[in-house]
Amino acid sequence: MSKELKKVVLAYSGGLDTSIILEWLQETYKCDVVTFTADLGQREELDIAFNKAKAAGIKEIFVRDLREEFASDFVFPMFRANTLYEGEYLLGTSIARPLIAKHLVEIAEECNADAISHGATGKGNDQIRFELGAYALSPDIKIIAPWREWDLLSREKLMKYAQSRNIKVDFMDQGKKSPYSMDANLLHVSYEGDNLEDPWSEPVDQMWRWTCSPEKAPDSSIEIILSYEKGDIVAINGEFMSPASVMETLNKIAGSHGIGRSDIVENRYIGMKSRGCYETPAGTVMLKAHRAIESITLDKETAHMKDELMPKYAEMVYNGFWWSPEREALQSLIDTTQANVSGEVRVKLYKGNVIITGRKSEKSSLFDTKIATFDDDAGAYDQKDASGFIKLNSLRLRLWSRNQRKKH
């Protein structure tokens, strides 16, 4: 890429990587840097990032509260699909990247910047997610990925670079070993690196931030009632809340009961395996509760079709194709299935467990007690009807069996 750039918009957290990138961009490209810090519910003081950028001489600083947009336009649509990647990962990092890419592009246009930049490494998925999103929204955008250009390829080298240029970062003054590589938002906290690079090494309890260990969780359970409208939670225990407030509330309640920890080795899009630990308290409850309300409001074939499509949807999100036409088409289908997914789910939380204890829908329930009962149904269902159904479905099996018997 040509180094004749005048202005670059950087996705900036104020942490180790982006603090160094801020300095590196100015040194390498001799350009002005615009910082963009997003509040996605990571529970950090955004003033810290603002003040760090200001102290570094940055003149254009953008700090945006994106919690509601993140929850309503990204997390909630994803949970309508009951999305899990490789059966375990709730995609907390993946789903945030297209939103950040969207605002990077918007700010670049607003500031008349030449390029955007991010702190994702050349080994990870985030570089792909950021850049696919940016190109989908602005086809001619220029992107600078420092990890693919510089030689600061370890945490230790980054720390030395920071010390040599008097860049203030966490852990530097104390001389401690490099921290975990972390990401946080309303949906999760993720941890990579350090002892986690050995997939046999158990995470230390001090690492976790949002959840207590199930062993130390309260000895008494708690029950909550979640109200749904068209597939989304709109109230907790009868109190109506915004999407972001729903997630913040569930994170606190579920986290205090030891819910949401996971330790996964996943297959990255670029080909390698990676071990990560995640805390997703709200998401863990949301996934199970959503399946519960769907269990009484969705037609069987519709529900099964969703289950078949979900892995493909999860791959799109994980691999960075949120802004693709195929994801948008699939989202339209999923959203259509949610028209009647309304009602209430009662959930018990106890020592790391999410237990569904009830579900109901006054308007949309397909559960017919007259037919499902084991008692006398007063003729609501004629059990003799099952004979023809079984005969039809057994025909191919009987034909196959007869053919096999002839061979012997």
pLDDT digits (tens, 9 = 90+) for 46-98: 888 999 999 999 999 999 999 999 999 999 999 999 999 999 999 999 999 99
Residues 144 and 262 in one domain: no
Closest CA to 322 of 138, 109, 101: 101
Q: Is residue 228 one of the residues assigned to a domain?
A: yes
* Segment 132-148 mean pLDDT: 97
Whether 179 has a pLDDT exceeding 70, the answer reads: no
Q: What is the mean pLDDT of the chain?
A: 94
Phi, psi angle pair for 360, to nearest 5°: -155, 155
Q: Is residue 405 one of the residues assigned to a domain?
A: no
Alpha-carbon distance of 93 to 263, in angstroms, equals 15
Residues 206 and 349 in one domain: yes
Q: Is 379 left (phi over 0), alpha (psi -120 to 50) or beta?
A: left
Q: Is residue 388 one of the residues assigned to a domain?
A: no
Residues 25 and 144 in one domain: yes
> Of the candidates 360, 379, 395, which is a domain's last residue?
360
pLDDT, tens only, 362-399: 999 999 999 999 999 898 988 999 999 999 999 999 99
Compute CA distances 298 → 48, 69, 313, 340, 358, whole Å: 47, 27, 19, 8, 16
Please, are residues 142 and 115 in contact by the beta-carbon 8 Å criterion?
A: yes
Q: Is residue 384 one of the residues assigned to a domain?
A: no
307 confidence band (pLDDT: 50, 70, 90): very high
Q: Is residue 69 one of the residues assigned to a domain?
A: yes
CA R_g for the chain? 25
Closest CA to 207 of 191, 186, 221, 229: 191
Residues 167 and 199 in one domain: no
> Of the candidates 360, 381, 399, which is a domain's last residue?
360
Residues 155 and 288 in one domain: no
**Count of the separate structural domains present in the chain:** 2
Q: Is residue 366 one of the residues assigned to a domain?
A: no
Residues 203 and 251 in one domain: yes
> Of the candidates 153, 179, 205, which is a domain's last residue?
179
CATH code at position 70: 3.40.50.620
**pLDDT score for 171:** 54
Q: Is residue 196 one of the residues assigned to a domain?
A: yes
Residues 306 and 259 in one domain: yes
Residues 160 and 230 in one domain: no
Which carries the bigger pLDDT value, residue 381 or residue 111? 111
For residue 236, the enclosing domain spans 189-360
Of all residues in the chain, what percent are helix, strand and coil, respectively (each to 5)?
Answer: 45, 20, 35
* Segment 174-203 mean pLDDT: 85
CATH code at position 249: 3.90.1260.10
178 confidence band (pLDDT: 50, 70, 90): very low
* Segment 97-126 mean pLDDT: 96
Residues 25 and 129 in one domain: yes
Residues 253 and 350 in one domain: yes
Least confident of 36-45, 288-297, 342-351: 36-45
Which carries the bigger pLDDT value, residue 228 or residue 167? 228
- How many residues are listed for the chain in this entry? 408
Beta bridge partner(s), residue 223: 348
Closest CA to 350 of 208, 223, 246: 223
| Residues annotated as catalytic (active site), given as ranges | 17, 97, 126, 181
Residues 294 and 339 in one domain: yes
In this structure, the strands spanning 32-39 and 273-279 are unpaired
Q: Which two tokens stand for residue 67?
A: 């919690």
Alpha-carbon distance of 193 to 321, in angstroms, equals 26
Residues 141 and 193 in one domain: no
Q: Is residue 90 one of the residues assigned to a domain?
A: no
Alpha-carbon distance of 314 to 86, in angstroms, equals 8
- pTM of the predicted model, to two decimals? 0.93
Q: How many percent of the chain have pLDDT more than 70?
A: 97
Closest CA to 150 of 21, 34, 35, 270: 21
Closest CA to 281 of 263, 264, 259: 259
